[in-house]
């Protein structure tokens, strides 16, 4: 399981440039005019994880298969999108399909790149998009409440539960706050997700800065950091221009370039790590002579469900998992050394898989 992150923002903030860099393609046309991205561009990228390569080297695996993440570059938004302005309706429909939102904010000055509002103010930009999403959600909630009236009168339990959640969302939105701030009980999580409210999705602010500020950020990105902290949201600082350059280099050249720029890692790595944290995701590994492979699960996933990510039969027929912590696997020279040291554990159906676990599942076909 990977996850799908929608890249959103006003026109000309660097969304498509970032997408091109992240997917190492020129699939999204990065041009200096609004709506250069007409259809959402979708790119699957491998999630970089140095642990996977280390495990593969130790096990002599013939193939390395990383887990993957999907980025969706969505057309630029303008004021009035909730009422269909610009490409509003299409934008709103596309964003519903994503698990999280990476909101790219322009934090750089450049007279050659026009801003749709004629100024550089990332906080105002964030408020513009958030307002449009809240207005769209409010309209959606009101329509749904009207549509389930008859079912509620008929005593439909599911409709009654849906009404309760919709009214909670409506109250929050009418206060000018996003639906993600509504406290939702664990029992209601599935029904809440089915509402597909735009402002219920986790948000990651991506501060697109000039090249010179890529390592340290600037005053504009500092403002975004404050805003994100106040909202309980996440943020990362990236220079889309730098990422675009790195995308054209091989691994050795990219490492040298990053060092020259004072950067410890590429923006893709930071973005994925922030995205993982945002959605509560983690990685476990399966390792053998044939392949070393990474799998993405949510934190708190039990062993049978983790097995089910590989194949449904693994979950249905789950017996137990042979488990080695990543640090033990590496420190003890691999599976054999871990076994001999008593570090391979047999775990049952109630085991909560940990990040970095090396697992082997036993199951009944």
Q: Which residue ranges make up the annotated binding site for ATP?
A: 12-17
Backbone angles phi, psi at 199, to 5 degrees: -85, 5
Do β-strands 318-324 and 203-208 pair in parallel, antiparallel, or remain unpaired? unpaired
Q: Output the known binding site.
A: 12-17
- Per-residue CA distances from 130 to 77, 133, 221, 296, 340 (Å): 11, 5, 18, 29, 56
Closest CA relative to residue 298, chosen from 119, 38, 121, 100: 100
Max alpha carbon distance in the chain (Å)? Answer: 68
Sequence length of the chain is 365
* DSSP type of residue 249: S
Backbone angles phi, psi at 347, to 5 degrees: -115, 145
Which residues neighbour 338 within 8 Å (Cβ) at sequence distance 6 or greater?
A: 324, 328, 329, 332, 344
Q: Measured on CA atoms in the order 251, 257, 260, 263, is the torsion positive or negative?
A: negative
210 near 110, Cβ under 8 Å?
A: yes
- Distance separating alpha carbons of residues 306 and 192, to the nearest angstrom: 23
Write b or e for each residue in 294-322: b if 16 or more Cβ atoms lie within 10 A of its Cβ, otherwise e: bbbbeeebbbbbbbbbeeeebbeebebbb
- Distance separating alpha carbons of residues 284 and 262, to the nearest angstrom: 31
346 near 322, Cβ under 8 Å?
A: yes
């Amino acid at each position: 399981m990977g996850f799908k992150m929608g890249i959103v923002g006003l026109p000309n903030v660097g969304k498509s440039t970032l997408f091109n860099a992240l997917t190492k393609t020129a699939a999204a046309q990065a041009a200096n005019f609004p709506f250069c991205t007409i259809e959402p561009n979708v790119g699957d990228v491998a999630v970089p994880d140095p642990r996977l390569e280390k495990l593969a080297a130790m096990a002599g695996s013939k193939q390395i298969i990383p887990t993957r993440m999907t980025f969706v570059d969505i057309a630029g938004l303008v004021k009035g999108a909730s009422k269909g302005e610009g490409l509003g309706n299409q934008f709103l429909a596309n964003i519903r399909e994503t698990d999280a939102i990476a909101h790219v904010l322009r934090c750089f000055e450049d007279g050659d790149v026009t801003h749709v509002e004629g100024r550089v103010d990332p906080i105002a930009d964030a408020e513009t998009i958030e307002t449009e999403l809240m207005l769209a959600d409010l309209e959606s909630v009101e329509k749904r409440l009207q549509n389930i009236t008859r079912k509620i009168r008929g005593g439909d339990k599911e409709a009654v539960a849906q009404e309760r959640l919709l009214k909670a969302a409506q109250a929050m939105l009418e206060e000018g706050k996003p639906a993600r701030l509504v406290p939702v009980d664990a029992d209601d999580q599935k029904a809440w997700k089915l509402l597909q409210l735009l402002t219920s999705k986790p948000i990651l602010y991506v501060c697109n800065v000039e090249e010179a500020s890529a390592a340290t950020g600037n005053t504009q990105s500092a403002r975004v950091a404050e805003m994100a902290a106040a909202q309980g949201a996440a943020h990362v600082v990236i220079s889309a221009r730098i990422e675009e350059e790195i995308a054209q280099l091989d691994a050795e050249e990219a490492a040298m370039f990053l060092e020259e720029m004072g950067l410890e890692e590429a923006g893709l790595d930071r973005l994925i790590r922030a995205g993982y944290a945002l959605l509560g995701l983690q990685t476990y590994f399966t390792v053998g002579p044939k392949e070393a492979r990474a799998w993405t699960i949510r934190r708190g996933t039990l062993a049978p469900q983790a097995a089910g990510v590989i194949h449904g039969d693994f979950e249905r027929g789950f017996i137990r998992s042979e488990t080695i912590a990543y640090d033990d696997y590496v420190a003890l020279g691999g599976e054999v050394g871990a076994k001999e040291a008593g570090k391979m554990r047999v775990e049952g159906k109630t085991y909560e898989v940990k990040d970095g676990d090396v697992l082997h599942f036993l199951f009944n076909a």
